[in-house]
Structure 1
């Protein structure tokens, strides 16, 4: 599966056909049109999305050895304005770990540990037999916060070898798996109701994505082939559920709002991490093919200066924005990671 190095692929992509070249153009437009240096932030995004962008910039730098966006990512990482809730804090921890992989700065690893420890000790309780609360007011236990909690515990264990995080990861996965959040179709619904049952909320694509990142990392903790089987089932179900009559990806609830504009970027980024970790077989081939086809479709719909839309379906309004640029870049990078094989793909765990 290792066709050529990321740098060689970047050179090859100068023709416009290489996925790294496509990602570089999408991220370049993100920087040119949406970065506000005075605020150390991108324009017209929600605070938590800042850290999703940072993590994707980190993936690009790892795969390409191009540090062109490094300073921007570090400036944005220091900006903690506007955060609200445990899910927001855990997005920060994920970005800390991604940039720590590149910089080897102990302060970033320490910050990720601080955030995780705060959430674990203050917001995990016996309500619904476990799990962490989404908000500081403790009104809702939902999928995204608990998926991020699991993913962060796994990565902290990998990077620190502190068995405390191994234990939290085991406990968190057991709860998430048995919570009822994963429905009979293999999709993750939004959260639990007042009776601690699946609330039937929309199966947003980012809820399918973050759990894929966690499941891709679970083999480092345990060696149960059922984990990869579940990951493949969720990924396949998510793609099937998102496919509209025009054969393009649709979000679980449309029209999308500013939050949802970035959900698909989170999903495809995670799928790019997962696919090379799957065993060879028809499921891996199907998922890899879908990433390639979706990437080609999105590239074909771009406007000059590599501007992309938050809506992908033919005939829909062109909705530009930082989230659209990020989502396109994440999709192109996901295809690069699959072609480069497992060693270069699991960048976020190294």
Structure 2
């Protein structure tokens, strides 16, 4: 994911709010399923207004500029859950086309059109999307090489192969390729994606090798100080490698807290190990920093009105991760339900802007649209509302209770195996991944030089 200088909060847009009456706000009664269905349908419509893949000259799977590739992965994950929560399969062809088009030639979500700028976290969010497709028993692709579970495993395997012990005693760098800004930075979101996907793969496949990996990532994040485990359990942004990751950037983002919180919840649900329950409950307690009167907000940037396009979507993933946590660890349900209800009611009031009368804003506190608009605002409101229905539909499936996706524990390296096969990566696999990454990098540089010549 990249730092964006774009900010769509144009003064003119605020003026336009005068032209749209507040009575056009999304109507929501959190105890009435019909209003939840109707409200989320409007928000999906607004979300797809930003989609480029069906427009002349657009790219399948991508949303309009200035939204980066990673956020497209996040949005497709939101829409997969929308179909599941609302029992609505109308978007299946569109979502399926997008997820398969962007896999890249290696079927690991490093497509050529993104590989010069792609970060570990970018790949991770597409991995989370297809992990959602796996657990929701989403319509299976015709090609087993692109089965949802196989793609999830491919993302995990290629990310794990980049684990870097040379700097800061472990962890993933923010960026994949060394020519990108941020290659010298290790952050919680990249490592959190690896942890989170590993936790979900462990639960889905029953393969404890993924638990071992999740424990490894957790221990490193705590040891390096990116996760605090004192009175309050917070997840900090990251640190530069030049000083051995000691100069920690102490920004706290909703999605980082959510990645770790729900990852722990998946692991507790699978292992029933009390340490994962304790970690879940402590991270949930720390998550209070993102709520004011039980209404969610992005604490690091929203009060100062300087959230960039990336940050304006973080509440979407946080809402999704909270919803999953609440059913995986029932002890958390009451707290999370209180947050989701209050935040949904507030978000609905913010969805009263634009020419359509249901464009959503960033600030959910002021009872109306705040003049901000964009893909992030739409999916954030969508996610917080649709997660009100977590108890009304089946929870995330596993391979043993209804999941049907075909897996390959060595995805990206070997042949298709069954979805319950053990993970069998050896040093050769990991070395091979490094070689593949290097070859891709060299070939891209060579291609660029050829074009210049």
* TM-score bin, normalised by smaller chain: 0.7 to 0.9
Structure 1 residue 263, shift from structure 2 partner: 0.8
What residue in structure 2 maps to residue 6 of structure 1? none
Greater displacement, 328-337 / 148-157: 148-157
1:70 pairs with one of 83, 92, 99: 92
Deviations 1:157-206 (A, max 9, x none): 33444454343223223323433211242110001342333614210111
Asked if 1:88 corresponds to 2:122, the answer is yes
Structure 1 residue 128, shift from structure 2 partner: 2.3
Gaps of 5+ in 2: 1-28, 103-110, 404-453
Give the conservation status (yes or no) of the 8 Å contact 1:272–1:333: no
**Alpha-carbon distance in structure 1 between the residues aligned to 2:294 and 2:169:** 42
Go from structure 1 to structure 2 and tell me whether the alpha carbon gap of 1:171 and 1:285 turns closer, same or farther (over 3 Å shift).
same
Greater displacement, 98-107 / 144-153: 98-107
For the residue of structure 1 that corresponds to 2:336, the secondary structure is helix
For the residue of structure 2 that corresponds to 1:141, the secondary structure is strand
What residue in structure 1 maps to residue 185 of structure 2? 140
**Alpha-carbon distance in structure 2 between the residues aligned to 1:268 and 1:347:** 19
1:102 pairs with one of 124, 138, 144: 138
Higher helix share: 1
2:388 pairs with one of 325, 335, 340: 335
**Alpha-carbon distance in structure 1 between the residues aligned to 2:87 and 2:294:** 37
**Alpha-carbon distance in structure 1 between the residues aligned to 2:82 and 2:398:** 11
Deviations 1:272-309 (A, max 9, x none): 111122344xx542321111011011112222453211
Give the conservation status (yes or no) of the 8 Å contact 2:268–2:329: no
Go from structure 1 to structure 2 and tell me whether the alpha carbon gap of 1:161 and 1:238 turns closer, same or farther (over 3 Å shift).
closer
**Alpha-carbon distance in structure 1 between the residues aligned to 2:203 and 2:344:** 31
Go from structure 1 to structure 2 and tell me whether the alpha carbon gap of 1:125 and 1:209 turns closer, same or farther (over 3 Å shift).
same
What residue in structure 2 maps to residue 218 of structure 1? 267
Give the conservation status (yes or no) of the 8 Å contact 1:308–1:325: yes
What residue in structure 1 maps to residue 33 of structure 2? 13
Go from structure 1 to structure 2 and tell me whether the alpha carbon gap of 1:223 and 1:246 turns closer, same or farther (over 3 Å shift).
closer
What residue in structure 2 maps to residue 252 of structure 1? 300
Go from structure 1 to structure 2 and tell me whether the alpha carbon gap of 1:251 and 1:74 turns closer, same or farther (over 3 Å shift).
farther
The two structures have a TM-score, normalised by structure 1, of 0.84
What residue in structure 2 maps to residue 295 of structure 1? 344
**Alpha-carbon distance in structure 1 between the residues aligned to 2:121 and 2:193:** 7
Structure 1 residue 250, shift from structure 2 partner: 3.8
1:273 pairs with one of 324, 330, 333: 324
**Alpha-carbon distance in structure 1 between the residues aligned to 2:336 and 2:195:** 23
Structure 1 residue 324, shift from structure 2 partner: 0.9
Go from structure 1 to structure 2 and tell me whether the alpha carbon gap of 1:245 and 1:59 turns closer, same or farther (over 3 Å shift).
closer
Gaps of 5+ in 1: 1-8
Max Rg structure: 2
1:39 pairs with one of 34, 37, 59: 59
Alignment root-mean-square deviation, CA: 2.8
Give the conservation status (yes or no) of the 8 Å contact 2:350–2:370: no
What residue in structure 2 maps to residue 168 of structure 1? 213
Structure 1 residue 347, shift from structure 2 partner: 5.7
Structure 1 residue 54, shift from structure 2 partner: 0.9
Structure 1 residue 260, shift from structure 2 partner: 0.5
**Alpha-carbon distance in structure 1 between the residues aligned to 2:294 and 2:129:** 35
What residue in structure 1 maps to residue 256 of structure 2? 207
Go from structure 1 to structure 2 and tell me whether the alpha carbon gap of 1:186 and 1:85 turns closer, same or farther (over 3 Å shift).
same
Deviations 1:27-84 (A, max 9, x none): 12212x2122132222231110011111111111222221122222223222344351
Give the conservation status (yes or no) of the 8 Å contact 2:295–2:339: no
Map 1:226-245 onto structure 2 (within 5 A).
Answer: 226-239=275-288, 241-243=289-291
Asked if 1:150 corresponds to 2:170, the answer is no
Q: What count of residue pairs does the alignment treat as equivalent?
A: 331
Structure 1 residue 90, shift from structure 2 partner: 1.4
Go from structure 1 to structure 2 and tell me whether the alpha carbon gap of 1:61 and 1:347 turns closer, same or farther (over 3 Å shift).
farther
What residue in structure 2 maps to residue 5 of structure 1? none
Asked if 1:319 corresponds to 2:372, the answer is yes
The two structures have a TM-score, normalised by structure 2, of 0.66
